[in-house]
Structure 1
Amino acid sequence: MKKRLFHIHQRQAKKAGDYESIDRVLKELRKPGQKGNDYRERSLKIHGLICARCGREFDEKTRHLLTVHHKDGNHLNNPPDGSNWENLCVYCHDDEHSKELLAEYPREER
């Protein structure tokens, strides 16, 4: 029988303190009113329930289909006037981000 050339490492049990610190951080991030946490609601209020690309209008029942797109790509840039945001429906938002991916995709030279 051949000798094994690798070792199987057993997972070490997490300490209770590890989970407490993670829970504390998550709790802080989820606090209402934290800077940046409410930009979606602010954008919907400023720009209305309409997609900036396709012009589709939404109501309270379908507002979950609207997303807030950061024009400069920086999710921490949330000015109070909403100048870095545009409301996009989920389809236009996906399209916007797939354009960025396709632009980075290497082209074959013919």
Structure 2
Amino acid sequence: MNRTNPGKMDKLDRVVADARRNRAEREAGYREKALKMYPWVCGRCTREFTRTNLHELTVHHRDHNHDNNPPDGSNWELLCLYCHDNEHSRYLEAGYSTGDQSDARGATHNPFAALKQMLDREESE
């Protein structure tokens, strides 16, 4: 123990206490629960993960509701970054955007508007 500078030890004690508290908070979160509950394998591409690349494994909410975190983990699946991005892009492309679409306008240009007249003209020539 450093008796010449007790303030330094107080600061170190605070840092250690903060680190322990942060760890407990993380373990209470759904990501830590999911990582304890499921094997560290992507649910789509079956890529395996270790502690060194675990940050690339994400928790995907199957119903896309991040507030739906049941204790049994039934709304979660572990996906790698790439498969997770793919899943969310598919969800958005399917038209399930959570944003307000009331002001969204459709396309104003119709490239085939005069197609029938053009085809009829070609047939008559």
Q: Give the structure-2-normalised TM-score.
A: 0.54
Runs of 4 or more consecutive aligned structure 1 residues displaced over 6 Å after TM superposition: 105-108
- CA shift digits 1:60-86 (9 cap, x unpaired): 000000000001111111111111100
Choose from 72, 81, 84 the match for 1:93: 84
Select the structure with the greater relative contact order (CA < 8 A; seq sep ≥ 6): 1
CA RMSD across the alignment: 2.9
Q: Decide which structure has the larger Cα Rg and report it.
A: 2
Q: CA deviation at 1:37?
A: 5.5
Unaligned runs of 5+ in 1: 1-29
2:39 equivalent to 1:48 = yes
Q: Partner of 2:75 in structure 1?
A: 84
Choose from 23, 34, 50 the match for 1:59: 50
Structure with higher helix content:
2
Question: Could you say what secondary structure the match of 1:51 adopts?
Answer: coil
Q: Give the structure-1-normalised TM-score.
A: 0.61
Q: CA deviation at 1:48?
A: 1.5
Q: What percentage of residue pairs aligned between the two structures are identical?
A: 54
